[in-house]
Amino acid sequence: AAWPQAWGGQNLRDILVSRGVDVDKPWKDLPRALRDWILFTDDQPQEPVYAGLSPEQTRRARQRRLEPSYMGTFTSARRHVLGTFSKSQSALMRRRAARYLVSEDCPVCHGKRLKPEALSVTFAGLDIGDLSRMPLADLAAVMRPVAENRLPDDDTAASAESGTLDREAGRRDRARRAASGASAHAGAPDVRATPNLSIEKRLAAQRLAADLIERIGTLTELGLGYLSLDRVTTTLSSGELQRLRLATQLRSQLFGVAYVLDEPTAGLHPADGDAMHDALAGLLASGNSLFVVEHDIGTMRRADWLVDVGPAAGEHGGTVLYSGPPEGLRAVEASRTRLHLFGLAEPPLRPQREPAGWLRLEGIVRNNLRGVSVAFPLGCLTAVTGISGSGKSSLVAQALLDLVGDRLGRPIDTDDEPEDPLDAVPGPTEGRIVGGMDGVRRLVQVDQKPIGRTPRSNLATYTGLFDGVRKLFAATPEARRRRYDAGRFSFNVAKGRCPACEGEGFVSVELLFMPSVYAPCPTCHGSRYAPETLAVTWNGLTIADVLGLTVERACATFADEPSVLRPLLVLRDLGLGYLRLGQPATELSGGEAQRIKLATELQRGQRGGTLYVLDEPTTGLHPTDVDRLMLQLNGLVDAGNTVVMVEHDMRVVAGADHVIDVGPGAGSLGGTIVAAGRPVVVARASASRTAPYLREELEADAGGSWQTRNP
């Protein structure tokens, strides 16, 4: 039976036994009324519980009125789920409870959040809730007639133009209503048809509508016309949020400002990237200066001045290799950026794989996807493309994960905790899998969400290599003499960590009216451990010294320890050799977190049959790091697995085995499969907004003969 785990489940069983319920009887054989009571009752009866006794012994004990072990309170499945979801402090428990909940609109306001009185006022026949739900591009179309002084009531408009509805007529009308005890202002159901609307009010409405259209126009130019006013910010991608902030600056009309942008094109389709470049050019033309951290080659080529830092990462970087016009970087041999900027890097030539089968999905309904059918090749690397808001993430990161996870019986658990508890309730995904699941035994999502929310989580603990390190320290002669086990060398265990900072390495300093700051622990000086623990060394290193090693140095230090070396080598191959083993998870970027998750997966023994799902894995990565990442992903596919990823980098898309383009537009203009097939096939699709950029990349890789590549 599906009882709660541990003591809670046993407690409920014992309570039902005390109530005379046969818990060993098949569920389907119980009376319907009893089943409904167990699942849905709001009652919480208390019953005597005789712990450790069988049902028969419990019945005899009750007949003899023996003293029970305790009085247990029964809770139905419904109350258990609702109570866990609303009161549990654990994000994991809330997510588990959310699987049994369905989110529906309020039956009174229908999800519009306002009272009927507020919703009774309409504009163009739409209340404020309807207007808030409209895509921005459609909202601008509704506002445009008012902005152009074209109101729908021609008679009223004509009267206004002829001067009939002047101020004096308005005053007489208000006085008449006030004398009769009515409201001094009478509005029509639709504000555009309000009688006696003065010329001043018409002019105010015209200016307000014109201002709204101008604001919406800025967002539409940045490719955000598919968003609605009621869109929750927590559901926006980082690229969408960045463009929203940029739109505010574009409307400010400031000049002489130095703007600093961190990867403004990260997570953008090339078409959206072009719109971003035009917006940046507008800021520049207004007399401002732009300082941009960027990995996008197209942005580098548009720059007036280029500063290249390197040559590598971590302690091997930190040097300004070049500062000047972009063309001058060509002569800097130490630069890795120049190889990609000037097309000097050899394109990876790899024969495209043939599918081992097809995972077919039909009737997918999710967000703007309406009855979509799609096939993913098994044993291949598939790139899903499309402009922002086209529905590609809905297809891959939501629908594919939901349907495959449900079929495998292991729904995907995310690591993040939603700000709003209602966001934990899964959205509805309709659709079905009609074939190909025999080739999928396991489902893994590798995203860019943090690997932990506190400094206690770090690279070493997440990948599991720290377990091997602690065992090495526990095996030293000094540790044996002191009878220290592996747990002694964990900063999460009280017996070995610093008692002052409890293993965090720092303490919070309150500054009264100012925000608190963190400072190194004055007792352990940031080492996290007690002096007795640090007295044990391995090859001259304390456990704190090991946490301070970079991955690259740790590879040399643990070269003779296979259990520790294996994850270290994978991390180094993914370009993370510069990270410290004890670097807190809170200091890692999204790209670093994703590669650490991938490294954890790569060190597993590969048996094939795993479906890996990635959402924009190259976001925020230098082209050199992208090449390293793709080398590892192709290794997973060569081992008999399947990789499906949402991607905007045309270099990666051109090297995929299969491409699925979603679109053609965003929001209601998207949500369909525009093209699917080999990269050369998608590059020829006339309706695809991805095709021109993919075609350009294929031409660059093949020297103009791209159409001859594996059609």
**Domain tally for the chain?**
5
Query: Residue 416's pLDDT band (boundaries 50, 70, 90)?
Result: very low
Query: What value does the mean pLDDT take over residues 342-347?
Result: 83
pLDDT for position 212:
94
446 shares a domain with 467:
no
Same domain for 472 and 549, yes or no, is: yes
Report if residue 391 sits inside a domain.
yes
Whether 14 is in a domain gets the answer: yes
User: Residues 668, 368: contact at Cβ < 8 Å?
Assistant: yes
pLDDT at 614 over 80: yes
92 and 129 inside one domain = no
- Is residue 591's pLDDT more than 50? yes
Alpha carbons within 13 angstroms on the beta-carbon side of residue 339 total: 13
Residue type, 245: R
Q: Is the pLDDT of residue 649 over 50?
A: yes
Residues 654 and 677 in one domain: yes
518 shares its domain with 573:
yes
Structure tokens at 579: 């990270």
Taking only the tens place, the pLDDT of each residue in 348-381 is: 667 889 999 999 999 999 988 999 999 999 999 9
Q: Where are the beta strands (DSSP E) in 102-145?
A: 122-123, 126-127
In a domain, 28, yes or no: yes
CATH number of domain containing 525: 1.20.1580.10
183 belongs to a structural domain: yes
- What's 63's domain CATH number? 1.10.8.280
Residue 390 pLDDT > 70, yes or no? yes
- Evaluated on CA atoms 194, 200, 206, 211, the torsion sign reads negative
User: 549 and 666 in one domain?
Assistant: no
Specify if 399 maps to a domain. Answer: yes
Each as own residue / partner, the long-range contacts of residues 517-521 (CB below 8 Å, 24 or more positions apart, any chain) are: none
Tens of pLDDT, residues 300-341: 999 999 999 999 888 889 999 999 999 999 999 999 999 999
Residue range of the domain that includes 181:
121-221
Measured distance CA(62)–CA(47) in Å, rounded: 10
Distances 518 to 480, 587, 611 between C-alpha atoms, Å: 36, 14, 42
> Looking at the domain assignment, is residue 238 inside a domain?
no
Mapping DSSP to helix (H, G, I), strand (E, B) and coil, where does residue 186 land?
Answer: coil
Final residue in a domain of this structure, among 173, 190, 221 = 221
Kindly state whether residue 261 falls inside one of the protein's structural domains: no
Does one domain contain both 25 and 92? yes
Nearest to 543 by CA among 616, 609, 447, 479: 479
Chosen domain end from 165, 189, 221? 221
Residue 1 is predicted with a pLDDT of 54
What is the DSSP code string of 263-286? Answer: -TTTT--HHHHHHHHHHHHHHHHT
Q: How far apart are CA 100 and CA 11, in angstroms?
A: 22
Per-residue pLDDT, averaged over 416-441, amounts to 72
What the block records as the tokens of 314 is 């971590």
Q: What CA–CA distance (Å, rounded) separates 97 from 618?
A: 33
530 plus 501 within the same structural domain: yes
Per the model's pLDDT, the better-predicted residue between 405 and 705 turns out to be 405
- pLDDT band (50, 70, 90) for residue 284: very high
- pLDDT tens digits, residue range 171-198? 555 565 455 444 444 444 555 555 556 7
Does one domain contain both 570 and 494?
A: yes
